[in-house]
Amino acid sequence: MDPNILFKYALQVRDRSYSPYSGFRVGAALKVAGVEEPVTGTNVENASYGATICAERAAVLAAIARYGKVPFEAIAVVADAQPYVVPCAACLGVLAEFCPADFPIYCCNLEGIQKVLQLRDLLPNPFRLERP
């Protein structure tokens, strides 16, 4: 899929961001293997700030609710940020649960895709539950 399509979906869903506390509106679009239309998510804040859900996690959870644990191919994330927005550490941990180290993350601002990173660039050593 053309990553610019992913960007457009992320930009569109960002309009539905519920972010009255931070004013920081974020949109994310996730490409699911074998599914044409990207699954989108936006940030939803809460008066109890810690209950806030980021756009990227909203997209991952929506994709799993709809399709189960299927391979994800890429994600685009957009906010009014300079030079671009990157997923927070909690979202990277959730992505690492389901995606390979070379999973592409399209980091965008309102003008478009500004940087393509791989999951390993942002989270080189993800936590894994491995008991001795």
Helix, strand, coil shares of the chain as percentages rounded to 5?
30, 25, 40
The count of chain residues that interact with ligand THU, using the rule CB under 6 A, is 15
Q: Decide if residue 55 touches ligand THU (CB under 6 A).
A: yes
Site for ligand THU in 92-131 (CB under 6 A): none
The region of 7-15, 20-28, 98-106, 124-132 touching ligand THU under the rule CB under 6 A is: 20-28
DSSP 39: E
Give catalytic status of residue 97 as yes or no: no
Choose, from 56, 73, 97, 130, the residue flagged as catalytic.
Answer: 56
Cα distance between residue 90 and residue 20, in whole Å: 21
Residue with tokens 């995606």: 99
Cα distance between residue 49 and residue 68, in whole Å: 28
Interface residue list for ligand THU (CB under 6 A): 19, 22, 24, 26, 43, 45, 52, 54-56, 77, 85, 87-88, 91
